[in-house]
Amino acid sequence: MSFLVATIVLPLLGVLALAFAPRDNTRLIKLIALGTSVLTLIASLLMLTKYKFGVSGLQLVSSHSWFKYFNINFAIGIDGLALVLILLTTVLVPIVVVGGWNEAEGGRWSVKTFYMLILVLETFMVGVFAATDVFLFYVIFEAMLVPVYFLIGGYGRGDRAAAALKFLLYSLFGGLLMLAAVIAVFIISARQGVASFDVTALSHVKIGHTAQDWLFLGFFIAFAIKAPLFPFHTWLPSAAKSATPGTSILVLGVLDKVGTYGMIRFCLTLFPEATKTFAPYIIVLSLLSIIYGAFLAIGQKDLNSLIAFTSISHFGFIVLGIFALTSQGITGASLYMVNHGFSTAALFLVGGWMIERRKSTQIEDFGGLQRITPVMAWLFFIAGMSALALPGLSSFVSEFLVLLGTFTRYPAAAVIGTLGIILAALYVLLLVQRSLHGPLKEGNEGTHDLVLREKIAIAPVILALVLLGFYPKPAIHTINPMTSQVLSQVQVSDPSPLAGK
Amino acid sequence: MFTTPVLDYNLLAPILIVLGGALLGVLVEGFVARVYRARIQIIIALLTVAVALGWVIKIRALTSQAAAIDSVSTDGFGLFTQGSILALSFVALLFFTQNDHFAPQASALPGSIEESEAAESGVQMTEIYPLVLFAISGMLLFPVAHDLVTLFVALEVLSIPLYIITGLARRRRLLSQEAALKYFLLGAYSSAFFLFGGAFLYGFSGSLSLGVIRTAASNPASNHIFLLLGVLLVSVGLLFKVGAVPFHSWTPDVYQGAPTPVTGFMAACTKVAAFGAMFRIFIVGFGAVQNDWRPVFVAIAIVTMVGGAVAAISQRDVKRTLAYSSITHAGFLLAGVISLSKIGLTAMMFYLVAYGFATIGAFGIVTLVRDSTGEVNDLNRWAGLAKKSPGVATAFSLFLLSFGGIPLTAGFIAKFSIFTAAYASGNTSIVVVGVISSAIALFFYLRVVLIMFFKEPTDETVTVAVPSFLVGTGITICFVITLVLGVYPNLLFNLANTMTTLQP
């Protein structure tokens, strides 16, 4: 059994173990969940020993027949992009477990159910990035919504049931559009004698021009809802407002990356012609996302919604990078997915602890935290700095690459995108000023600083932000072969550098 | 000259066994003391269906035209349909063992002294078992019938007992009797349409046999007016039975009024039988003029899918919601008929089984949610059901997710394959509308999940009854099948695929 398979299966074994654990022993349950997620992390790291870096194409592939009649297989394999996203997942899950040690208590159901849902979700998240069969991808893409639905609706705050339903309906609607497109791709491939759901085989199928356009849209809208891209983003703020910090980290940090991952993996490689047709329009949408998300973030009074809207802005950057169709753009966007995962995780973790202590999500209720809880305040500051892409932190590298890659093809778009950075500075600094600085607001006196458990949870995230900020080369080196392969499939090459005039 | 008819009892055995069981049940009613009847009737019914199912499995590989002088064709498709009906009936019958769903004495007027006397003396309604067996025998004959008269006889044999048992609900008897009358009147009309269509077809071809009608229809010189009139009228009869828009208006009332075990049985098994017959008639009989009827069917499939889904949104009653959902599913199934291909047929057969078990399971769970006066069908009172009984709420959610076509349930594989068949046959519009109406339908399936899981219990009088052993078994079977077909569809799908042979 390869380490990839182990990474997918291990969380399920944890679910099984949890099922037999006594319901009342919450400590044991949390330890099982933590142990499982750490083992999964180890398995995913061991994967690196077998992975050949700098080589394009899928590796660690394995395939088992699943539904023979339609030639559907349990086919998995990874390339650079899938690898870094799987690592992001396996790193974040233990952090979520440790960081949100007490967040399952007070939910509608037991702590046990919470961790079973988290581990099921981990299997799905790893599986969705590893799937190389379009049908399998689709199945996981849809099935993974169900645990999230229960995580938000069962353990969230406020109007959680409505938020959960909204999230699910949006995603399922996108999924159904994609299903129609998946079926069409399969039938087209069958008419050409291929009859396969294998993503590599499908990328060689010739699809007519009009068909490509429609099918591209089927996939793209599903991914744009997931990502979320303006104007398909409206489910996100309510979900982020209601979900627990841990769920938010997994939804925004990992789950939503399936959208942008899918754009590269399916939209670009399966429908190269349509990609080129729609790229300019999508660039416009992504710019709207960047600016719109940033403006709304500035105006938010609720901490969780603010983080959600910053994410809409950041996803705008990722999509911008992808559809600039340049090597820097796609590599930058891929790297951005990882960095955004860590930076959102940092924001939601520290933000979640602040909310837990203050029992309020309103930004105006905080203030002056820097004086009494310096560690928490500094960490929140660093997380904020990573959100505004401060040089030296990882987001800077990816944002710069995206803008650079965009500039070579669409200079105007890059200029507008840069506006997003300025707006980011505004919303982050305002947030920092209101919540951390100034006189100590009433109600914050008793707030205590981070405990050891919380420091342990946040440490790897900060480490990743700094490390990838100063030395992004290993990650870029891992992603690059995928980028060049995708670009050759889309049949575009980088524009020649603009000569100085 | 009169030739002795050739009857192949081996091939007719499943139908004859069920008929025999029904007659035995009638004798039991007459000769066995009242206290033993219920138990004996249950055993007879379950055994009969099991033996018939065993027989179908035994003769699964046989094909013949001559089972009953060209009136019954035995082929893979027919046997698969019969097998599905029997398997579904077996599980549905497990829910009939909760005797408190049926009126103690159907002949007593609602609210009369006789009624309360019957209820007090503990009289149980046991005639229902033979009636169900009669209905099953009609259902078995319907999809294998090869001429119009046999078809009509089968249609009536399956319908009339259903009309009766619809009116047998123990509680809300007026609603139940109203439903029965409505079902009977509309059913009689639709049968009349069917018969009238049969007359036109006879006039057109000079024969009642589907084979002869096909031959005549493929002759372009013949007068197609009568043929098309016949096709149209026969379609009305069949579309009524499957509950397609615009012939669906009986469905919500009847599903709501009938005793819930009956609703489950009717929703699952009638649909299998009617779609089986419809496929055979339209492919074997009217295949030559498919260009004439196909556009009409495409339109009907589209309005059925959308109509059922839209109407379901505003429903507050769980049985009515499931009724509208069944209308939507009829639309999806029509997509299989329209694709007119082997894969369409396979997909339709798979869909019927997947849908059937989920439906029986769902209605089975409806029987368990009660207050002191009986079943609680008002969805708002289902709030917080997951707190009262997590197992039941989980099972019901699984069935709903299967109806909604969420991956890893049987419903998803079914929907996927039927859409694939429709797309492969060039009916892109069906796929697009199907996807949209699936999205609409998901809204109300998920709303029920939300009510059960995320709403606080508001009504403490609502409880979940502990299922008896047989009922528990029934729900478990449906649950397991829905899950297994979603995760590992190969076995059934391949079986369906090898059983797609149709006698011309």
Q: What integer best gives the mean pLDDT of chain B? A: 89
C-beta of residue B482 within 8 angstroms of C-beta of residue B354: yes
Alpha-carbon gap, residue A46 to A190, rounded angstroms: 38
Distance from CA of A43 to the nearest CA of B (A): 26
Q: Give Cβ neighbours of residue B181 (< 8 Å, ≥ 6 apart).
A: B167
Cis, peptide link before residue B246, omega less than 30° from 0? yes
Strands (E), B284-437: 369-371, 374-375
Distance from CA of A204 to the nearest CA of B (A): 20
Residues 153-212 of A with CB under 8 A from B: 153-154, 160-161, 164-165, 168-169, 172-173, 176-177, 179-180, 183-184, 186-187, 190
A160/B431 touch (CB, cutoff 8 Å), yes or no: no
Distance from CA of A4 to the nearest CA of B (A): 21
Model confidence at A497, pLDDT cuts 50, 70, 90, reads low
B407/A68 touch (CB, cutoff 8 Å), yes or no: no
Complex ipTM, two decimals? 0.88
CB atoms within 10 A of CB B2: 4
C-beta of residue A3 within 8 angstroms of C-beta of residue A47: yes
pLDDT of residue B191 exceeding 90? yes
Cα angle for residues B14, B18, B22 (degrees, 5° grid): 165
Task: Confirm whether A380 is domain-assigned.
Answer: yes
| Mean pLDDT score, A411-427 | 90
Q: Give Cβ neighbours of residue B318 (< 8 Å, ≥ 6 apart).
A: B366, B377, B378, B379, B382, B448
Among candidate residues A383, A489, A498, the one with its CA nearest the CA of residue A435: A383
- Rounded to the nearest 10 degrees, how much is the dihedral formed by the CA atoms of B106, B110, B114, B115? 70
Residue A426 structural domain: 273-493
CB atoms within 10 A of CB A359: 8
Among candidate residues B417, B337, B418, the one with its CA nearest the CA of residue A71: B417
What is the percent of chain B where pLDDT is above 90? 52
Alpha-carbon gap, residue A115 to A26, rounded angstroms: 10
For A67, the closest of B346, B435, B489 (CB atoms) is: B489
Closest chain B residue to A139 measured between Cα atoms? B407
Among candidate residues B407, B427, B433, the one with its CA nearest the CA of residue B489: B407
pLDDT at position B271: 93
B494/A68 touch (CB, cutoff 8 Å), yes or no: yes
Q: What is the pLDDT of residues A119-154, one digit of tens each?
A: 999 999 999 999 999 999 999 999 999 899 988 888
A179/B416 touch (CB, cutoff 8 Å), yes or no: yes
B450/A153 touch (CB, cutoff 8 Å), yes or no: yes
For B438, the closest of A165, A168, A176 (CB atoms) is: A176
Closest chain B residue to A154 measured between Cα atoms? B454
The token pair at B304 is 């059925």
Alpha-carbon gap, residue A282 to A318, rounded angstroms: 12
A180/B432 touch (CB, cutoff 8 Å), yes or no: yes
| A52 DSSP 8-state letter | -
Residues of A in contact with B404 (CB under 8 A): 172
Which DSSP helix (H) or strand (E) runs through A301? Answer: none
Least confident interval from A10-19, A72-81, A271-280, A361-370: A361-370
pLDDT of residue B66 exceeding 70? no
B406/A172 touch (CB, cutoff 8 Å), yes or no: yes
Work out the end-to-end distance of chain A between its first and last CA atoms, rounded to an integer number of angstroms: 58
A168/B439 touch (CB, cutoff 8 Å), yes or no: no
pLDDT of residue B402 exceeding 50? yes
Instruction: From residue B336, give the alpha-carbon distance in Å to each of A70, A176, B297, B418.
Output: 16, 19, 11, 6
Instruction: From residue B296, give the alpha-carbon distance in Å to each of A127, B232, B372.
Output: 43, 9, 48
Residues of A in contact with B347 (CB under 8 A): none
Amino acid identity of residue A189, one-letter, is S
Alpha-carbon gap, residue A204 to A58, rounded angstroms: 15
Q: What is the pLDDT of residues A463-473, one digit of tens each?
A: 999 998 899 88
Alpha-carbon gap, residue A478 to B141, rounded angstroms: 64
Q: What integer best gives the mean pLDDT of chain A? A: 88
Alpha helices in A227-256 (DSSP H): 235-242, 245-248
> Which of the residues A66, A68, A69 would you substitute to probe the B interface, choosing the one with the greatest number of B C-beta atoms within 10 Å?
A69
DSSP characters for A3-46? HHHHHHHHHHHHHHHHHHS-TT-HHHHHHHHHHHHHHHHHHHHH
Distance from CA of A169 to the nearest CA of B (A): 7
Closest chain B residue to A186 measured between Cα atoms? B420
Higher pLDDT, B49 or B127: B49
Among candidate residues A115, A99, A94, the one with its CA nearest the CA of residue A14: A115
For B423, the closest of A108, A143, A183 (CB atoms) is: A183
Model confidence at A1, pLDDT cuts 50, 70, 90, reads low
pLDDT of residue A501 exceeding 50? no
The residue ranges of every structural domain in chain B are: 9-498
C-beta of residue A3 within 8 angstroms of C-beta of residue A43: yes
| Mean pLDDT score, A423-437 | 88
Alpha helices in B167-258 (DSSP H): 173-205, 210-217, 224-242, 250-257
For A67, the closest of B424, B453, B490 (CB atoms) is: B490
Task: Confirm whether A449 is domain-assigned.
Answer: yes
> Which of the residues B343, B420, B428, B445 would you substitute to probe the A interface, choosing the one with the greatest number of A C-beta atoms within 10 Å?
B420
- Rounded to the nearest 10 degrees, how much is the dihedral formed by the CA atoms of B484, B490, B495, B497? 130
A142/B494 touch (CB, cutoff 8 Å), yes or no: no
DSSP characters for B332-346? HHHHHHHH-SHHHHH
If you search the block for the tokens 């950057």, which residue do you land on? A317
For A143, the closest of B408, B439, B443 (CB atoms) is: B408
Residues 121-140 of A with CB under 8 A from B: 138-140
Strand pairing category for B374-375 and B463-464: unpaired
Amino acid identity of residue A45, one-letter, is L
Alpha-carbon gap, residue B233 to B280, rounded angstroms: 16
Task: Confirm whether A50 is domain-assigned.
Answer: no
> Which of the residues A176, A191, A214 would you substitute to probe the B interface, choosing the one with the greatest number of B C-beta atoms within 10 Å?
A176
Model confidence at B465, pLDDT cuts 50, 70, 90, reads confident
pLDDT of residue A322 exceeding 70? yes
Closest chain B residue to A188 measured between Cα atoms? B424
Alpha-carbon gap, residue A273 to A213, rounded angstroms: 8
Task: Confirm whether A212 is domain-assigned.
Answer: no
Model confidence at A56, pLDDT cuts 50, 70, 90, reads confident
Q: Based on the structure, what is the number of domains in chain A?
A: 1
Quote the radius of gyration of chain A (alpha carbons, Å).
22
C-beta of residue A384 within 8 angstroms of C-beta of residue A428: yes
Closest chain A residue to B429 measured between Cα atoms? A180
Edge-to-edge strands, sheet with B374-375: B374-375, B369-371, B463-464
C-beta of residue A17 within 8 angstroms of C-beta of residue A36: yes
For B406, the closest of A142, A165, A177 (CB atoms) is: A142
pTM of the model: 0.92
Alpha-carbon gap, residue B267 to B326, rounded angstroms: 7
C-beta of residue A152 within 8 angstroms of C-beta of residue A239: yes
- Rounded to the nearest 10 degrees, how much is the dihedral formed by the CA atoms of A338, A341, A346, A352? -170
Alpha-carbon gap, residue B362 to B399, rounded angstroms: 6
Higher pLDDT, A209 or B137: B137
- Tabulate helix, strand, coil % of chain A (nearest 5): 75, 5, 20
- Best-predicted range by mean pLDDT (A56-65, A93-102, B211-220, B359-368): B359-368
Q: What is the pLDDT of residues B475-501, one digit of tens each?
A: 999 999 999 999 999 999 999 988 888
Q: Give Cβ neighbours of residue A41 (< 8 Å, ≥ 6 apart).
A: A90, A91, A93, A94
| Mean pLDDT score, A49-78 | 87
Distance from CA of A255 to the nearest CA of B (A): 17
If you search the block for the tokens 């089968």, which residue do you land on? B154
Distance from CA of A180 to the nearest CA of B (A): 7
Strand partners, B378: B317
Q: What is the pLDDT of residues B75-118, one digit of tens each?
A: 889 999 999 999 999 999 999 887 777 877 777 777 788 777 77
pLDDT at position A500: 47
| Mean pLDDT score, B23-28 | 94
A161/B455 touch (CB, cutoff 8 Å), yes or no: yes
Model confidence at B222, pLDDT cuts 50, 70, 90, reads confident
Model confidence at A436, pLDDT cuts 50, 70, 90, reads confident
How big is chain A, counted in residues?
Answer: 501
Closest chain A residue to B433 measured between Cα atoms? A180
Residues of B in contact with A165 (CB under 8 A): 446-447, 450
Instruction: From residue B221, give the alpha-carbon distance in Å to each of A434, B224, B229.
Output: 87, 8, 17
Three-state secondary structure of A96-148: HHHHCCCCCCCCCCCHHHHHHHHHHHHHHHHHHHHECEHHHHHHHHHHCHHHH
Closest chain A residue to B407 measured between Cα atoms? A139
B438/A150 touch (CB, cutoff 8 Å), yes or no: no
Q: What is the largest CA-CA distance in chain B?
A: 76
> Which of the residues B453, B488, B492, B495 would you substitute to probe the A interface, choosing the one with the greatest number of A C-beta atoms within 10 Å?
B453
Alpha-carbon gap, residue A74 to B359, rounded angstroms: 29
C-beta of residue A366 within 8 angstroms of C-beta of residue A354: yes
Q: Give Cβ neighbours of residue A451 (< 8 Å, ≥ 6 apart).
A: none
| Mean pLDDT score, B390-411 | 92
Residues 374-433 of B with CB under 8 A from A: 401, 404, 406-408, 412-413, 416-417, 419-420, 423-424, 428, 431-432
Among candidate residues A10, B90, A496, the one with its CA nearest the CA of residue B82: B90
CB atoms within 10 A of CB A68: 13
Alpha helices in B32-127 (DSSP H): 34-58, 76-96, 113-120
Task: Confirm whether A38 is domain-assigned.
Answer: no
Distance from CA of A457 to the nearest CA of B (A): 31
pLDDT at position A13: 92
Alpha helices in B286-317 (DSSP H): 290-313
Least confident interval from A323-332, A483-492, B246-255, B298-307: A483-492
| Mean pLDDT score, A388-408 | 89
The helix/strand count (H/E) of chain A reads as: 22, 2
Alpha-carbon gap, residue A483 to A480, rounded angstroms: 5
Helix (H, G, I), strand (E, B) or coil at B186: helix
CA A367 to chain CA centroid, nearest Å: 30
Distance from CA of A467 to the nearest CA of B (A): 39
